[in-house]
Chains A and B, each alone.
Chain A
């Protein structure tokens, strides 16, 4: 096997390769220049590509997104960094009104090939404004795509695909995985296509639909259930909009039991949509109610004790799977 990279290194490698391949790709954001980014993702880019392709911006998220849109209208492919996904709300209007609607209101005569990288997620002691998972805000908005990789392979492959995609893509990179997820990465021109889920573990008795940092505890829970004679299939959604209906339905038809696990809060999270679409379109396949394990409807607390109490983990997922399997 070839080299192994961390999730963070995989993101950087995708940026470097795409910038070398395509002169129209550039990055912009706060501290992305000589400093190399708050998490070090863009380290080395400034030295290789210079200040016109690795642009330090003022603390101006709306400007970062808006300027990316402007550049994309002249054929560029900007990759904008939100320092934390929590800060994406400061650029919300440019994403949901400017970027998402542009192709539609231009009568299909233009597109907005931008990527917005947003370091998301908790379990890092970040507190209220450095731990959020705001993906559900964006899957509610037609015109954007939303991805959330869980492995180094996907971190690289999905980012390359996102940069090459002609639509606005919001790329949620999970901070907990930055240095913890390691593995091989695609080489050369290989990418991971948007809109395609991955089966991380096959099983016949129940399906877990999950993504990002919840994939690993879901797999751990599946191993525990296996010892109890219940074989759980774990599907990593990878792309949240458009989500992979075919993969979801195929698994539901096989296992007839569905648990959705996400780190985002419960009400109207990704799970609400998946549950609804499964109910509408695969009701006959279900032997049990679609169940969810999620963050409670609260803000991500700073205290380690409080944060751990909120985060789904292998124990809470195991417990839910047992309940589900009992149907």
Chain B
């Protein structure tokens, strides 16, 4: 795979600002959920991706409606970027009747087929065989749509990961495997769960390219994704993109994450993807104080509205505990 050229896929100022909006919205959404958990208003099922937003934004930005995403449990933002209303997403987290799963489960265990979103179970990596099946149908139809499938470095140790990548390699499927390497599988650091430095190396064992990039640089993620998408759309098969990153919060909001040092967390917080991108936009005069204020106000309004909606949304009907089991 050739080195990533940061300028190959051009973005207009409007697109750059749009990207910035998504970064802010997704960060804000997760931060609000974190507060709601502490307030006892959302019971559980919150696995924030705070610190990792550049990956979702850089990969989902510019995806087509007919592309499919298979997110991991921290990728709430990908649901929003692919078209789920913030209200419905928040109602899902509250377990309300108007959430995606009608209160059957929270988090990202529900999907929306019309929007090209697959919702996985809690079994990490179990989305990857499903992603391969989705991509197989694109190959059958000879369309140029692509599946973008996400997993953590922890899930790259699961059998499903290897079965899916192997099949994708054999069948030359139009699929991007996006690894969000946030250094910890719950509490277990990467050096205790794999004997290699880069998950990207695993791709070569399945006959396609893997590349490790800075996952906190939204433009680097975007450029790498666009390159891989172009290849997948033209029938050149899968690519693995490993995005090195770090999750600021614990595994779930109930995890105090005492297994890591304050210094390590501080070091990664200094690589926060949002200020980095803000500086980039300001130096190119794409963003100024007024625009920043406007975006921040828009983000706050969307989140406030979603929370109000979800808090006032009806609970599921008791009888729906046993409906929708069969078509």
Contacts and interface: CB of A to CB of B under 8 A. Distances in A.
Interface string B308-327: 00000000000000011111
Nearest to A78: B133
Given A66-B126, A110-B111, A103 B118 contact: no
A65 B129 contact: yes
B134 interface: yes
B101 interface: yes
A22 B100 CA distance: 31
Given A60-B163, A76-B137, A106-B119, A66 B132 contact: yes
Interface residues of B, number: 42
A167 B133 contact: no
Chain B CB within 10 Å, residue with most, of A73, A76, A167 = A73
A107 B100 contact: yes
Nearest to A111: B327
B126 A70 contact: no
Interface string A20-38: 0000001000000000000
B324 A63 contact: no
B166 interface: yes
Contacts of A57: 167
Interface string A234-277: 00000000000000000000000000000000000000000000
Contact of A73 (B105, B134, B164): B134
Given A58-B170, A60-B166, A105 B105 contact: yes
**Interface size of A as a range:** 35 or more
Given A63-B129, A110-B113, A52 B140 contact: yes
Contacts of A76: 137
Interface string B284-327: 00000000000000000000000000000000000000011111
A16 B99 CA distance: 41
B327 A166 contact: yes
Contacts of B253: none
Interface stretch (A90-98, A129-137, A198-206, A284-292): A90-98
B140 A62 contact: no
B103 to A, nearest CB: 9
B136 interface: yes
A108 interface: yes
B133 A67 contact: yes
B36 interface: no
A107 B324 contact: yes
A66 B133 contact: yes
A71 B136 CA distance: 7
B325 A104 contact: yes
A60 B167 CA distance: 9
Interface string A111-142: 10100000000000000000000000000001
Interface string A70-86: 11111010100000000
A74 B159 CA distance: 24
A165 B112 CA distance: 21
A142 B164 CA distance: 26
Nearest to B164: A63
B74 to A, nearest CB: 18
Interface string B94-136: 0000011110110001111100001111110010111111111
Contacts of A69: 129-130, 133
B130 A70 contact: yes
Interface string B132-164: 111111011000000000000000000110011
Contact of B167 (A26, A63, A72, A143): A63
Nearest to A53: B140
Contact of A105 (B109, B123, B135, B327): B109
A70 B113 contact: no
A108 to B, nearest CB: 4
A68 interface: yes
Nearest to A107: B102
A105 B140 contact: no
Interface string A43-66: 000000000110101101011011
Given A97-B123, A110-B111, A167-B327, A67 B105 contact: no
Nearest to A23: B140
Nearest to A73: B113
28 contacts: A52-B139, A53-B140, A57-B167, A58-B167, A60-B163, A60-B167, A63-B132, A63-B166, A66-B130, A67-B129, A67-B130, A67-B133, A67-B167, A69-B130, A70-B132, A73-B111, A76-B137, A94-B130, A97-B126, A98-B123, A103-B324, A105-B104, A106-B100, A107-B99, A107-B110, A108-B323, A110-B111, A165-B327
Interface of A: 26, 52-53, 55, 57-58, 60, 62-63, 65-74, 76, 78, 93-94, 97-98, 101, 103-111, 113, 142-143, 145, 165-167
Q: Please provide the 4 A-B residue pairs with the shortest distance between their CB atoms, ordered closest to farther.
A: A66-B129, A70-B133, A67-B133, A108-B324
Given A60-B163, A105-B109, A106-B110, 4 more contacts: A66-B128, A66-B160, A72-B133, A73-B111
